[in-house]
Amino acid sequence: MPSTDATPHTHTAACLEVTFLGSGSSGNATLVRHGKDALLIDTGFSARETMRRLADSGTDPSILSAILVTHEHSDHISGIRVLAAKLDIPVFATRGTVEDAPLGALSPNVEILVPGEPVTIADMEVLPFAVSHDAAEPVGFRITGPCGTSFGLVTDTGVMTPEAIEALAKCVLLGIECNHDTEMLRTGPYPWFLKERIASSRGHLSNAAALAAVEALASDKLRAVFGVHISSKNNTHDLVAEELRATLTRLGLDVQGAPVRQDRCSESATGR
């Protein structure tokens, strides 16, 4: 039976474990571990800060097998060149991301991902899927361990694409963008053009859209939902926590729901 563990320092060899090193507009990084192998999704902090957060999570960076990239915006790739070179590990990204970043300078340590086509890295199956964002070729990820547990991450998307809904169905652990509250964005300090960009189909997911997706993805397998990429200007962690709990309760799910913070390692979850 899958279970969750809110302690970021617990590692279980037989399970898929997810630790969010931080998420928000100033940096994003997510650690996915199975046994003695681990993958890092995005490196939006400096290499030094990423290493510090790995240490805070109790993770030896030598276990990292690869870095996966969702898209080329700086809050997802800032530390990638230095970290990939320091650890001598490959970077996996779509061709659009590689060309627009450009990550080609990391060659030959860059591997091309094709949305919809799974690859095996270490002992984990990685499925990139298309999302809707104003980037060259952005993707989310579903990662499945040999134990059969799947973690799905969708961030930086204006809408939940059919590809995302299909990929995330039956995931045990889920990270989903809860970028903004619609009313806070409307009345907030951003200029109008930026508000329009954020609220567009190629912008960022609102709390309401994220919760609708959680409802669509609800299943007896789901054990933890984490709100990621929360805006510091147009949302609050307390609001995301409250709305996640209310939605999960209404759906009759005994599921952990929590917001992920920008400034430190957040919740860790283990699927069994």
The band of 272, judged by pLDDT with boundaries at 50, 70 and 90, is low
Q: Which one is predicted more confidently, 110 or 3?
A: 110
Residue type, 202: R
**CA-based radius of gyration for the chain:** 17
What is the pLDDT averaged over residues 141-155?
95
**pLDDT tens per residue, range 108-146:** 899 999 999 999 999 999 999 999 999 999 999 999 999
Note the pLDDT of residue 105: 79
**Is-above-0.85 flag for pTM?**
yes
pLDDT at 2 over 60: no
What is the pLDDT averaged over residues 240-261?
95
- Would you kindly state where each structural domain of the chain is located, as residue ranges? 16-254
Complete edge-to-edge strand list for the sheet that includes strand 64-68: 110-113, 91-94, 64-68, 37-41, 29-34, 16-22, 268-271
Note the pLDDT of residue 13: 46
Q: How many C-alpha atoms does 14 have within 13 Å on its Cβ side? A: 4
Beta strand 224-228 with 173-177: parallel, antiparallel or unpaired?
A: parallel
Beta strand 110-113 with 91-94: parallel, antiparallel or unpaired?
A: parallel
Note the pLDDT of residue 209: 98
Nearest Cα to Cα of residue 40 among 49, 30, 50, 48: 30
Class of domain 16-254: alpha beta
The band of 267, judged by pLDDT with boundaries at 50, 70 and 90, is low
Answer yes or no: are the C-beta atoms of 5 and 270 closer than 8 Å.
yes
The band of 4, judged by pLDDT with boundaries at 50, 70 and 90, is very low
**pLDDT tens per residue, range 10-50:** 344 458 999 999 999 999 999 999 989 999 999 999 999 99
